[in-house]
Structure 1
Amino acid sequence: MADTDATTSGPYPLAEPGLWVERVGSRVFPAGAPALFLDRDGTVNVDTGYPDDPAKMVLCDDIAAAIGAANRAGIPVIVVTNQSGIARGYFGWSEFAAVNGRVLDLLRADNASVDMVLACAYHEAGEGPLAIADHPMRKPNPGMLLEAGKRLGLDLPRSLIVGDKPADMEAGRRAGLSRGWLVDGESAVQSGFTVWPWRDREDFGGLLAAIAALGAVSGRP
């Protein structure tokens, strides 16, 4: 069993024992910019269960193109990921750091970059300080999106979220976003939040159009 490395005094960007908040790169965004929020496992990279091996990381189809479109439009790209494997003791923050670094490197090799990564390790099945049920930072709760919004001064209602689970969409809705794209999902509308499916090239085109529209509103080409 791996060491959980659950400490704010270690070498990792932990805002608290179970919350990773990493600012990636140095791009500066104007106050009130909308963002592209992304789940990680199953959305950015192919889901391998409890990912602890960087060598097994493979990007999902078309995700680099979506992220690259946001980069060109001047839209912050933010990964928000639940990582209960850390709470369960399957791996620690060191393994998370290695896997996450590999995912970011794969994106960079495909001309796409992420601006912030937030990861929540809290889970009711965990041990010690990570054993918290329904933590506000764990999706479907909106804590990670709200934290990113506060740190970057984002316009959350105009932001988008892409994920492969209903919990991702619910986190977006609770954070005040108005739209999300659900990988292999169905369309739905709930309390002013619209879920669009991402199953094929037509759906992907709709996501790219939405990203481009955000860039146009933000004054970018």
Structure 2
Amino acid sequence: MTSAKVALLLDRDGIINIDSGYVYKYSDEIIYPDILEVVKEANVLGIPVAIVTNQAGIARGMYKVSDVDSFHKHLKNFYQENGARIDHIEICPFHKDKGEEMWKFDSLLRKPNPGMHLKALSQLMCKVEGSLMIGDKQSDRINLLGLKTLLLQGDYEITPANDLCQSRQELCQKISNYLNNLLDFS
């Protein structure tokens, strides 16, 4: 697939919205405006954008898939109303050892496994090589050859590496630089 594009893959809680723990009720007030601007930039550059989010609250019985779907419907509408577009969303409702039996499963979809990423990239007809994953947890470092990563240091312990940003401003600037540099190589 030489004509395949790269994608921007975003974790949700902590990156797109405030992470107050098992977030499933939507409110415009919890959405970070800086990532909205990054998504607009990706849209202008023709780079598809996908959300890839573990949603263990489903497995734990805290909320339902329909609650997450409703959150995402509102989120996509909010983005659209503000001139940005999310092209695809993948969730993982499973947890390997916590929660209700029907959701207790060691799924390849659950980050840090690459299942959600591969599904999203396939759905968007994008390639792994050069696609960029943005997250704020160690589990957002996906072991997938060719996938680039940028992480935001926040409330979670992350092993220091050159992909770690200390502020949202630094993260957004590095994403912007990366996306704009893709034009030189595509």
Runs of 4+ in 1 over 4 A off after TM superposition: none
1:175 corresponds to 2:144: yes
Q: Equivalents in 1 of 2:21, 2:46: separation in Å?
A: 32
How far has the Cα of 1:56 moved from its partner?
A: 6.8
2:177 is paired with a residue whose SS is: helix
Residue among 72, 84, 94 paired with 1:122 = 94
Aligned to 2:173: 205
Q: What amino acid is aligned across from residue 101 of structure 2 in structure 1?
A: G
After superposition, where does 1:31-42 map in structure 2 within 5 Å? Answer: 31-42=3-14
- Give unpaired runs (5+ residues) of structure 1: 1-29, 190-194
How far has the Cα of 1:161 moved from its partner?
A: 0.8
Q: What amino acid is aligned across from residue 78 of structure 1 in structure 2?
A: A
Aligned to 1:140: 112
- Which is higher, the Rg of structure 1 or of structure 2? 1
Root mean square deviation, CA, Å = 2.1
Q: What amino acid is aligned across from residue 39 of structure 1 in structure 2?
A: D
Aligned to 1:79: 51
**Per-residue deviation, residues 50-99 of structure 1 (Å, max 9, x unmatched):** 12222375212410111111100000101000000011111101111111
1:95 corresponds to 2:63: no
- Report the structure, 1 or 2, having the larger strand content: 1
Residue among 113, 123, 128 paired with 2:85 = 113
- Give unpaired runs (5+ residues) of structure 2: none
Q: How many residues align?
A: 180
Identity of aligned residues (%): 32
Q: Equivalents in 2 of 1:37, 1:140: separation in Å?
A: 13
Q: Equivalents in 2 of 1:212, 1:198: separation in Å?
A: 21
Residue among 104, 108, 115 paired with 1:131 = 104
1:201 is paired with a residue whose SS is: helix
How far has the Cα of 1:196 moved from its partner?
A: 3.9
Checking the alignment, whether the CA contact within 8 Å between 1:187 and 1:197 is kept in structure 2 is no
Q: Output the TM-score relative to the length of structure 2.
A: 0.87
Q: Equivalents in 1 of 2:129, 2:30: separation in Å?
A: 31
Q: What amino acid is aligned across from residue 72 of structure 1 in structure 2?
A: V
Aligned to 2:42: 70
